[in-house]
Structure 1
Amino acid sequence: MSTTMANGAMAPATLREDAGVIGFVGLAHMVSHFSQLILPPLFPWLKDALHASYTELGFLMTVFFVVSCGVQTLSGFLVDRWGPRPVLFAGLALIGIAAFGFAWSPDYVTMALCSVIAGVGNGVFHPVDYTLINRKVSPARLGHAYSVHGITGSLGWALAPAVVVPLALAYSWRVALMGAGTIAFAVLVVIWFNRSKLALPAAAPKAHTSGPAEHSLAFLRIPAVWMCFGFFFFYAVVLSTIQAFAPEAARRLHDVPVGWAAMCLTVYMVCAAGGMVVGGFLASDPERCERIVGAGFGMAALVALLIGLGHVPAIAVPALFGAMGFASGIAGPSRDLLVKKSTPDNATGRVYGVVYSGLDIGQAIAPLFFGALMDHQQYRGVWLGLVFMQAVLITSAFNVRKVRRTSLAPA
C-alpha cells in the first residue's frame, strides 16, 4: 500500500498498487451504472404487474436521479470528512437493498420508495471514485485511470439489460431484480476483502499560515467549478437522449429494422469503451484536454448531423452509432481531467459531488424535452437538438479553460 510522506502527501505508487485502486474503483463504478438501468428493460413486465403507465414507470427513474443529485452533493462533504471507503461500502449496500426491495415490492408506491433508496446509493460513487483516483493513483497513470473508470461505467450500462431481461424471460421480473441485487452484494463482498487497497485518510482542511482553516464551502467561489457543473449538465442531456430516444428516432427517419435499431445503443456503448482506451493515452498531457474534448464531441456532432439530415441507408445506422460512440469515448478521460484541473487538493470529494450532480439533473430533465419531441413525431428535431447540445458541450469545455486561466491570472 502507498506510504504517506511527512508532509501528508502520498508517496508515488507502484504499478501494482495503481492497478488495484483503478480496478476496484472501476468495479464499484460498474455497479453504479448497472443500477441505473435495471428497471427500464423490465418496464413491459412492470407495466402489467403494477398496473402502471409508462409515464408512471418513467417517474421512478426521475425519482432515482433527483435523489441521486442531492445525495451526490452531500456525499462529497462526507467523503472529505470521513474518507471515501466507508461511503463506498454504504452506497453498494444501499443499491443491493434497493434491488431486493424492487423485487419484493407489492405495489407502485413501494417501488417509488425503493427508487429513493437506490438514488441514495447511486449518489455516492463519483465523489468516492474520483477522490480515490486523484489521491492514490500516480499522475502519470491518471489518464488510464479515467479511461478504465469510463469503460467500466459503459460496461455497467451494457450489463444491466443483459442480466435482467434473460432472467425475466426465463423466470420472472422479481427473480431478475433479485439477480441484480445479488451482483451488487457480490461486488461489495469482493471490495470488502480488498479494502486495504482503498484505504485513504480524510483530507485535512487546508490551513493558512496567517489565519484559520479554509471554510468547507470556499470551493463554491471558484468559477471553474460551476463551469464544470454546466459542462456535465449538457453532457448528461446528450447521453440521456442517446440512451432513451436516439435509436427510435433514427429508426423512424431511416426505416431501420427493429432488430438493428435495438443494436444501436449496444454498438454505441461498446465503441465508446474502445474510444476511452484511446482517450486514456491522449489524456496523458493535461494541457490538451480541452482540445481533445472539443475534437471528440465535434466528430460525434458531425455524425449526429449526418443521421439527422442525411439520406442514410438503414444498414449504416448502427455503424454510425458506433462512430459516434467511439468519438465521444475518446473525449471521456480528458473530460474528467477538466474537473481535476479545477479542483483544490483539499476539496476533491466536495467538488466532484457538486460538479457531477449536473449529470443527475441533466438526466432528470432531458427526457421531458426530448420525450415531447418524440410524442410529436419530431424525430429529425431530436437529432438536431442532440447536435445543438453537443455544440454547447464543446463551448462549455473551452469556457472551463478560459475561466480557470482568468482566475489564476495575477491581479
Structure 2
Amino acid sequence: MSAEVIIGDKRLAPHRLRAAILGEVHARPFRALPTPARILHFAFDTVGEQAHQDRNALTELCVRRGVTPPLPSDRHFHITFGGTGLRWEQHSEFTTYTIELPADPDTPPFHPSPASLATPMTLVPQPGPLLVAIDLHLMTDRPDRLAVERHFNRPSLAVAENSDGTAVYATDFHPDPEGFVRILVLDRDLGPERAGALVQRLLELETYRTLALLGLPKAQELTPSINRIERGLAELTSELQKTSSLADNNRLLDELTALAAELEAGAAGSLFRFGASRAYDDIVQTRLRIIGERKVGGLPTWSSFLARRMAPAIRTCIATEERQANLSRKLARAAQLLRTRVDVEVEQQNRDLLRSMNARTRMQLRLQTTVEGLSVAAISYYVVGLFGYLVKGLHDAGWPIEPTFATAIFVPIAALAIWWTVRRIRHRHVGKDDEHEV
C-alpha cells in the first residue's frame, strides 16, 4: 500500500506512520467462507521469545512447501495446503492458528473427530501453552438441526440469531472430551462473505472471553494477601494511637513499609493482567453488539449467558485492582503520618541535645574564665617575684631604689599586662577557630 500522494509531477512526502495507520484499518480481513465448513481454531500463549520462534517455524514451513513466507512486519498470514486453509495471526501476547476445512453437508455436526482433522498443527512446533481450542461447524440450516440442545450441555447452552436472522449460532462454552469448545453455526441465508465475518467474530468472542478470564485466577491468588495487608494496616493504625516513643514509631514504620512493599509487588505483577482483562472484555462486548443478537425460543443468548457468568469474574478483577489502589493510598497516608511523628520526635531529641550542649558550653566557659584568672594570678606572682629580685640587686649595687616600694608599684602593672596578654591570645585563637569553621 502506497502512502504517497502524487499531484501532477509533485509527490507529497507522507508521515512515517501513515502507511501503518492506513494498513491497520484493513488488518485481519474477513475471508469468504462457503457453507458447509469446519473450522478448528487454536490460540497459544506466545509472550517474548516464543513469538519470534513461532514466526521462524512458520517461515520454515512456507519454505519447505514452496510458499512465500510472511514478511517480518506481517501480523497475519494465510496459506493453503490442497483444500485446507491455514490462517496465522500474531497478537501482543498470543498467536492463533485457524484451520479451514470443507465439510460434507450430510455429515452430523462435529463429526469426524477434530483431532483427526487438525493435522496441519503437526507441521509446526507448538508455539506456547494452549489457551483456546475451538471446533466450529458451519452448516446449512435444516429443520432437523434446529434441536441444537442434543449437541451441547443443556444447562450451559447459549443460542442466538444474528441481527437479521440469517444465522443461528450456539455453544455451551464447555470443552468436549477432546478439549475443544464446540460452536455450531446454522446458515439460513448468509452468503460466503457474511458467513466468514460471523465465523471470525464468533472465534474472536471465545478467544477474547478466555483471555479476559485469565485475570480471575490472579485476583483470587492476590485476595488472601490483600486481606492480610488490610488486617495488618488496621492493627498498625490501632497501635499507632497507643504508642509515642521513637523506638515504637520506628518499629511500626518498618512493619508498615514491609506491608507496602508486599502490596506493591502484587500490584506490579497484576497490573498488566488486570488491564488486559478489561481490554479483552471490552472487545467481547463490542463483538456481541456488532453481531446484534436476538433470542431463539426460551434459550439464553450469548450476551445474557456471559453477563451472568463472565461479568462477575471481570468485576472481581476490577474490584481487586481498586482494592490494591485504595490500600496503597491508605498505606501511604499511614506511612506519612508515622514519618511525621518520627521526624517530630527526632527534632525534639535534637533540641534536647542542643540544650545539653549549650549547658556544657556555658560550664566550660565558666571553668575557662576561672582557670584564666588563676593563670593571671600565678604568672603575676612569678613575674613580680622576678622583678623583686631585680630591684633588690640594683639596690645592693648602689642604685637609689627602694625594693619594697618599687615591687609594690610593679604588682598592678604586671597583673594588668599579663591579663591583657592572656586575653589577647585567647581572642586570637577564637578568631582563628571561627575562620576554620567558615
Give the TM-score range, shorter chain: under 0.3
Q: TM-score, normalised by structure 2?
A: 0.25
**If each structure's strand is expressed as a fraction of its own residues, which one has the higher value?**
2
Please tell me whether Structure 1 or Structure 2 has the larger radius of gyration of its CA atoms: 2
- Which has a greater percent of helix? 1
Task: Determine which structure has greater relative contact order: mean sequence separation of CA pairs < 8 Å that are 6+ residues apart, divided by chain length.
Answer: 1
